[in-house]
Amino acid sequence: MKVVKGEATYTDDIGFPDTLYLGVYRSPVARGIVKSVTPPKSALLTITWDDVRAYLPVRAYEGGNIVRMPVLADGRVNFVGQPVFAFAVKDRYEVEDALDEAGADIEPLRPIITIEEALNGEPIHGETNVAVDVRVKGGDLEQRVNSEVEVERSITLHRVVANPIEPKGVIVRWEGDRLFVIGSFQSAFRVRADLQETLGMPPEKITVVSAPNVGGGFGNKISAYPEYVLAAIASKKLGRPVKWIETRQEHLLSPIQGRSMRATLKLHARRSGTVLGISGEIVIDGGAYMMGIGPVFPNFIINMLPGPYKMRFIDVRGLMVYTNKPPYGAYRGAGRPEAALLHEVLMEALAEELKLDPAELRERNLVESGKPHTLPTGLKLDPAGYREVFAEAREVYERLKREGKRPVIIAFFNYVSNPPGEGAKVVVGKGRVKVYAGSGPHGQAHWSTFARVVAQRLGADEDVIDVTLNSTESIKEGVGTFGSRTSSAGVNAVLSAVEGLLHILKEKGVTLEQALNSDEEYSYETFAKADSVVTPGAAVAYAEADGELCKAYVRELHVFLDVGRILIRSEVEGQVIGGAAQALAQVMYEKADFDEYGNPKYSSISDEGVPSSADVTWRTYVHPMEVYPTNLLGGARGIGEAGTSAGLAAGTLAVERALGRRLNELPLDPSALC
């Protein structure tokens, strides 16, 4: 309610006495050698590479040609907007004045901008621009000789900027040798781990707390950024709190950007319509450096390429290459929408080649409901309602056809990144139930969700339940919110803590009512492990084309999901509608484009293609179904990113059908409509 009434507290609403402000001078060129820097004379402190000499971590990946991002330019710059040096001043307005005084002598070098240039041009780092090169081969590869028909699709996805309504920001301060950080985070624990590694500090000396409200994230607020490290260094040197609040212009130029990929794939099948497998290659534009979990994406996308279909084999090469653009990383869906788009354009092409009904082709190849299934990539799908959601979607598909529309239908799954689990603690006493969890809400209703499931399990009133999230001082270990994991892993952790607390009370012979009204507090903390699950989905959409106005419009999108258990229906609907809007915007409008010199061709969110309300020509209908609850406590399957997969795949196919031709790149080029 505070958010609705404008009473929410975000990072920039928080302040401490004597707070100083961090400013960052950023590279105006995409590639070059730093000859010298000119710090602002008004600065209380200037920080250069020689003061830092540190790089940001890369997670969950070993091997490859990994070049980590320096906190400040280490003699070279490799994208427009890269931090060159930092400074601290007394007032926020002084930051802009100081930037006018600041400068750097940078000798420009020829930038590498496109994937093609990266594969064939001069290396940015070392001897090659290939950062990651994996080949995923699995299943019964001998089935390839049984292929009677092959269809091929090539498609390019352009870059997209995650645009939360609140950009990034931190406030840091020191108490002796202890560092305290408040900011706009999706994962306080990931930020702490990144700061621990970059600053060389033990984790127990770092406390990271998310602001009470986080104005969106979409993957952009999971990891630590150079400015977090710089603020910590400045605060230590000056002995005062330091705040950094990202401007929108800074945000548009900074990591993380997503989606940029080129794919050429073949689907192999029998003439009967039985799909056999996928082969081909995907290449991701990784930007100037590897950051966070960026290097895992070629493998991650390929692992999901078979979709919810009974494919026999896979043989796909995945590359990630360096270019002189901001580093690549997770953007809402983080590989899931890309995989769904690729397997669905292939299935549609096969249906056209075989002159089969697209719905019939998909349905006959779907995995069985209620049974575990292992894809040829090794990815395990847990028992769920794959066929039930598709059957419901097909009814809408057939109805729209009867109404004279030209709908498309797709099948997909939303991979829920539960491992390794989540941390939680529950405390009862002094008239309150206190719930703590490692989840990091950034627009979702986590407080309401956790309060409701705890109240239901305890038989208590939600009004006596206080929920505190995303703080390293509340629980020992946590993970955060991303990968559609909170309603699954997060709820499982909270309910595990509740069960542990009830067990303690039973052993002590204390009832819940007695514990609640006691002057003593009873608590239980756990880190509840959780395996991955998937959320089966299907979607139906249709679009219309206006040849005179040279425009195409998506009109309806229906999304069907086996959510396991509906925790809060309005939250399920809101998450899917929001994700679908981002995906359809990517189909129609959004593109972070760069010129031949590596300069961004956008300077605002409208330039980048974020749609206004007038641009939203579609209506999204959400159909959550409770078919197969998971084995985790709570039974829910994650849906936070399901709308992006549904919207990207169904929206693309709907526009293709309306135009009567295939799209080779996204977003749609308006000039191609006339």
> Which residues of the chain form CATH 3.90.1170.50?
11-109+167-214+221-253
CA distance 563 to 566: 6
Contact 465, 455 (CB under 8 A): yes
Nearest partner of 153 among 18, 266, 36, 26, judged by Cα: 266
Task: Collapse the DSSP code of 24 into the 3-class scheme (helix H, G, I; strand E, B; otherwise coil) and give the result.
Answer: strand
The 10s digit of each residue's pLDDT in 292-334 is: 999 999 999 999 999 999 999 999 999 999 999 999 999 999 9
How much is the pLDDT for 105?
98
Distance CA(439)–CA(422), nearest Å, equals 8
**DSSP per residue over 280-326, as a string?**
EEEEEE--SSB-BTGGGHHHHHHHTTTTTB---EEEEEEEEE--SSP
What DSSP line would sit under 207-267, residue for residue?
EEEE-S-----TTTTSS--HHHHHHHHHHHHHTS-EEEE--HHHHHHSS-EE--EEEEEEE
423 near 192, Cβ under 8 Å? no
Residues of the chain with CATH 3.30.365.10: 257-417+532-673, 421-529
What per-residue confidence (pLDDT) applies to 362? 98
Q: What is the CATH number of domain 11-109+167-214+221-253?
A: 3.90.1170.50
What pairs with residue 107 in β-bridges? Answer: 33
Low-confidence ranges of the chain (pLDDT < 50): none
Residue at token pair 């999204």: 620
Asked if residue 470 lies in contact with residue 210, where contact means CB atoms within 8 angstroms, the answer is: yes
Please write the tens of the pLDDT for every residue from 455-512.
999 999 999 999 999 999 999 999 999 999 999 999 999 999 999 999 999 999 999 9
How many angstroms separate the CA atoms of 113 and 184, rounded? 31
Looking at residue 557, what is its pLDDT? 98
Q: What is the DSSP string of 83-122?
A: EEEEEEESSHHHHHHHHHH-EEEEEE-----SHHHHHHS-
Q: How far apart are CA 121 and CA 174, in angstroms?
A: 46
**φ, ψ for residue 262, nearest 5 deg:** -125, 130
Residue 425, helix vs strand vs coil: strand
Look at the chain and count its residues. 674
Q: Does domain 421-529 bear CATH number 3.40.190.10? A: no
Orientation of helix 446-458 relative to helix 491-508, angle to 10°: 30
Q: Which residues pair with 526 in a beta bridge?
A: 424
At residue 1, the pLDDT reads 60
389 dihedral zone (left: phi>0; alpha: psi -120 to 50; beta): alpha
Indicate the CATH number of 257-417+532-673 among 3.90.1300.10, 3.30.365.10, 2.60.40.1120, 3.40.50.2300. 3.30.365.10
Q: What is the CA radius of gyration of the chain?
A: 25
